[in-house]
Amino acid sequence: MIGGNIPTHLPEREVMSDVVELSNFIAGQWQPPQCQHWIENFSPATGEHIANIPCSSSEDIDLAVEAALDAAEQWSQFSINERADWLEKIADELEQRTDEIAQLESLDTGKPITLARNVDAARSVANFRFFANQGREFESEIFEMSDATNRVLYKPVGVAGLITPWNLPLYLLSWKVAPALLMGNTIVAKPSEMTPMTASLLAEVIEDVGLPRGVFNLVHGNGLDAGAPLTAHPDINLISFTGGTATGREVAKSASSGFKKLSLELGGKNATIIREDVDIESMMPGIVRASFLNQGQVCLCGSRILIHESIYDVFVEAFLNAVNDMIVGDPADDETELGALISAAHRDKVMSYIDLAEEEGGDILCGGGPPVGIPDAFANGFWISPTVIDGLTPDSRCATEEIFGPVVTLHPFSDDGEAIEIANMTDYGLAGSIWTQDVDAGSRMAEQIESGMVWVNCWLHRDLRVPFGGVKHSGVGREGGRWSLSFFSEAVNICVKRE
């Protein structure tokens, strides 16, 4: 059923023998790319050609920015409460289309349908509702002096350029679109060329709810032809980018000459620390989830497991049992826990790290290649079974560079101090988790880990009010809750002196 199961009722998409043709959405109009060049999009699970998307260029970006500029004045005139109402309408409409979002996301990314339904679709709706509520609760600050009153105004920044990756397509796009709209900005969004489907669905929803034309514009395309002109465009005032660290560096260079507001959410190489007092049995599902959710393609995944030496063998045996029990297979099946990797190129990159691990002296304890016995329908898909590697030094390339796949490395430590030292041994600083019965000790350790987020006895347990972002090479700035509202606005002080 995969590959043939594409909804065909969407009016803006032309469906030709199961290959969907997507368009850009600019100034409220669905348009082909000016250059008439297209990018082929493939199903990760089967390798089938499932869509053609615009290979947009600077001409399309120029049109989209112009549309966003034209709409800016009208959009900024709405009150924050009115804009919150628009977000709520978008959330309602997305919620109606939950099953469709889940199907498209699973088809486009190769992720299990249950994950797409429970995480991607649910969170995309929740993002719009959350920021609608943030808008309704939003209060500007007043600072009184003995002879004057200071008022802080939060003005729109202008046109926001939003660039997103392929691993959590609508989840991450909605995380940017909702606060950007709420604070009065207009938008040009460029989603990953590998996962275009749900961005188009969002544009359809935005059209259906009747958001004024030009407030939200969508330009499909690759990084060099569409992403780079967007970040360089002189009328883009703000860039929110989520993606790899190397790309983030290019985006930062491009944005800096125009002094654009910039948020960079980049890669990670996160440590999962297993203290000697952990309750292995009850914590194991959480630890496996942290290792392999979305085939390990979550920036927050714990790809290095640091284990106290006194429980090393017992833990590794229990971990391998749990990993071997995972159901890898048809993403459309409700039972499936692990699906395919995003592309042939990414599968090859992950495999090259597994080869490197062997060269670096690692021992592949399980996985290391495509799943055995994968049905014929998936023979041309991009698969790697969950892979566990032992015996690497913590400073090896496989243990310090981001692999972003279903691969974890295991490392022993002798005390908390050594665990922290190993955890901090990479250029990245996004997230981490600590598993222990002594939550005070775990919390103290958490403070010493160089990363933006640390979970104790859980992982990816998200309260949308908290700051989200990385340190070191994992990013610049914070999004989430009031940090998003602040990033997507310009705080302006008006000081009125009393007589």
Q: What does the binding site for ligand NAD look like in residue numbers (CB under 6 A)? A: 163-167, 190, 192-193, 222-224, 227-228, 231, 242-244, 247, 250-251, 265-268, 299, 402, 404, 430, 470, 475
For the question of residue 309 being annotated catalytic, the response is no
Q: Which is nearer to ligand NAD, 185 or 192 (CB)?
A: 192
- Least gap, CB of 201 to ligand NAD (angstroms): 17
CA gap 110, 128 in Å, rounded: 25
93, 276, 299, 337: which one is catalytic?
A: 299
Which residue blocks in 32-79 are alpha helix, DSSP H?
58-77
- Least gap, CB of 363 to ligand NAD (angstroms): 26
Q: Which is nearer to ligand NAD, 219 or 446 (CB)?
A: 219
88, 93, 105, 265: which one is catalytic?
A: 265
Q: Which is nearer to ligand NAD, 287 or 299 (CB)?
A: 299
- Least gap, CB of 262 to ligand NAD (angstroms): 12
CA gap 104, 200 in Å, rounded: 10
CA gap 37, 222 in Å, rounded: 11
Q: Which is nearer to ligand NAD, 230 or 419 (CB)?
A: 230
**Residue 104 identity (one-letter amino acid):** L
CA gap 495, 198 in Å, rounded: 45
Q: What are phi and psi of 371, to 5 degrees?
A: -65, 140
- Least gap, CB of 166 to ligand NAD (angstroms): 5
Residue nearest to ligand NAD (CB): 223
- Least gap, CB of 347 to ligand NAD (angstroms): 13
Q: Which of 148, 111, 204, 201 is nearest to 494 (CA)?
A: 148
Helix then strand then coil, % of the chain, to nearest 5: 40, 20, 35
Report residue 99 as tokens. Answer: 């099953």
- Least gap, CB of 278 to ligand NAD (angstroms): 26
CA gap 336, 460 in Å, rounded: 20
Contacts (Cβ under 8 Å, ≥6 apart) of 68: 159, 186, 187, 188, 214, 215, 217
Which strand ranges, in their side-by-side order, compose the sheet holding 38-42?
14-16, 19-21, 49-54, 38-42
Q: Are strands 19-21 and 14-16 parallel, antiparallel or unpaired?
A: antiparallel
Q: What are phi and psi of 462, to 5 degrees?
A: -105, 125
For the question of residue 265 being annotated catalytic, the response is yes
DSSP state, 371?
Answer: P
Q: Which is nearer to ligand NAD, 2 or 299 (CB)?
A: 299
Q: Are strands 363-366 and 387-390 parallel, antiparallel or unpaired?
A: antiparallel
Q: Which is nearer to ligand NAD, 292 or 315 (CB)?
A: 292
Residues noted as catalytic: 265, 299
